[in-house]
Amino acid sequence: MTYLFNDPAQFADELAEGYAAAHRDKIRRVDGGVIRRHKAKPGQVVVIIGGGSGHYPAFGGFVGLGLAHGAALGNVFAAPSAQQICNVARAVDAGGGILFCYANYAGDVLNFTQAQERLRAQGIDVRSVVVTDDIASAPADERHKRRGIAGTLAVFKAAAFAADAGKPLDEVVRNATAANDRVHSLGVAFSGCTLPGAAKPLFEVDSGIMEIGMGIHGEPGLDRVKAPSADGLAEMLVGKLLAEIPETVNNLSGARIGVILNGLGAVKYEELFVVYRKIEQLLTAHGLAIVAPVVDEMITSFDMAGVSLTLFWLNDELEQSWLAAADTPAFHRGVITDAYCLIDNGIESKDTQKESSIKPGSAESQAAANIVLAALEAALDAIAAQQDELGRLDAIAGDGDHGIGMQRGLTAAVNAARTAISEQAGAGTTLITAGDAWSDRAGGTSGMLWGVILRNLGHAVGDETKPDAATIATGIAEALQAVIVAGKAQLNDKTLVDVLYPFSTALTKGATQGFSTPETWTAAAEVAKQSADATKNLTPKIGRARPHVDKSIGNPDPGAVSMALIIDATGKIIRRQCS
């Protein structure tokens, strides 16, 4: 149970503020995350990591000399937004290129990819290495689908070592990729974690039972077995990890490995040492040489009772990176002797973005902007009323934060729309501004995709005329295509696309037949509602629910349900104000 919090929606911001205040000698806060207090050498590559909050010391705890140059910090269990990532990247860019290094989760991939595209468009050379060390989340021949867990530390360290050594970006990428290819992890849990403000854990495990292969965001495990003794757990973890040895390791006997035994939050150090005792015996009995083991909390999940074991199969180059000195708030090794120690004493930034001036829309479009605001407010009320249920649906096969994430994003969208309208914005600009705020504040997959939806709709609506049914249908159709491109989901993948696609088709049909906007939207909203309910029969093919097919079938997709709720709430406003 997470006991200490104020407003759960502010938890991530407040923990980042306190964390930065506690470690002013090593880091400083910028809008979107934290960066090293010590600047990188001019012309060198910098490494940016990041992910959702709730995993300390990942990810902000790994910022400092010898490790990452900056970390983008998302909301609880939600990926940082593309804007947050760009803010952190610009704050540390030294002119030699940037490597993004992050764990393989849908929201992180979407937002880091979008940030990469934005920075490249500004002439900055940005590459990405995605960590895929969790052997439970996909078979070996689908390594690209695996999640990233505690093995992220080994990959981050390999990347940072090459960057701080002055290697060019190609070499930094190569070193990080080589580390990812040679790191494997497996985790278990004895209980789920409880998010700030939640009344119960995301999932529960019966006494005496253990889940194998759970995710760090609270995703339930893939198998449930009787909980073994400490020695029995060590034997299981070592056995499963030694069953998959990297192809580049030719001989098990004599191989050198880095080891991370990671506590997930509620399993404490004394217990970890009991387990590690047996792990060390088992690995050395196989002829393996353990190099600088780490027995600690490296990537947690609030109060989850669980552990993970990581084996990092070293070669000469990777062993150098693994043993290299580092000095961050959460990870210390050796003594930094040759760092470029120009201290950045810049004023801590809350906003690195320039304020944009809004061009007033036409009188008709300004009137439509007020309808947009009313629709967003109604959507916020609808989501707030169903927040717990959306969280429950998300926790069945995901991380349980969908309800609070949607409420957080919509709150930001409403506030941004109000500000835009106060500056005489038209409907298009109001939608775009609201979408950008939603994406930035909510983060994660849904935040990014709703930003895409509102931005595309806003571009279609514009600021000159009152949008009719045909214009709205065109905007939704364009939003659908942009969502498919960004999120890679197709119809029947069990995502919000399974609502957006038929909704768009129904809107286009109504507009083509000459129906009014209220008539067209009302008919399409009924299709959206039915489509959301029908997702309960679909098999998830993308996202965090994919490994949990059995749990997902019979329950609708939370993203589809929330989209149908928003469409319905918007329809009520349209019928009231557009008749």
Which residues carry out catalysis? Answer: 217
Distance CA(492)–CA(320), nearest Å, equals 47
CB atoms within 10 A of CB 232: 14
Distance CA(383)–CA(381), nearest Å, equals 6
Distance CA(442)–CA(413), nearest Å, equals 10
Distance CA(41)–CA(32), nearest Å, equals 22
What is residue 23's DSSP assignment?
A: T
Q: Contact 206/192 with Cβ under 8 angstroms? A: no
Q: Contact 213/222 with Cβ under 8 angstroms? A: yes
Tell me the longest C-alpha to C-alpha distance in the chain: 79
Q: Is 443 left (phi over 0), alpha (psi -120 to 50) or beta?
A: left
The structure tokens listed for 416 are 């941004």
User: Which of 375, 471, 355 is CA-nearest to residue 419?
Assistant: 355
Distance CA(114)–CA(436), nearest Å, equals 13
CB atoms within 10 A of CB 9: 18
Distance CA(400)–CA(194), nearest Å, equals 10
User: Which of 162, 23, 184 is CA-nearest to residue 101?
Assistant: 162
**CA 441 from chain center: how many Å?**
13
Burial of 522 (0-12, 13-18, 19+ CB in 10 A): middle
Secondary structure class of 256 (helix, strand, coil):
strand
User: Which of 184, 199, 186, 33 is CA-nearest to residue 112?
Assistant: 33
Name the pairing type of β-strands 256-263 and 289-296. parallel
Name the pairing type of β-strands 27-30 and 33-36. antiparallel
The structure tokens listed for 301 are 């999940």
Q: Contact 132/143 with Cβ under 8 angstroms? A: yes
First to last CA, the chain: 50
Burial of 469 (0-12, 13-18, 19+ CB in 10 A): buried
- Which distant-in-sequence residues (6+ apart) come within 8 Å of 126 by Cβ? 89, 97, 98, 99, 100, 115, 116, 119, 120
Distance CA(49)–CA(69), nearest Å, equals 8
Helices marked H in 246-340: 269-285, 316-323
User: Which of 340, 336, 342, 315 is CA-nearest to residue 324?
Assistant: 336
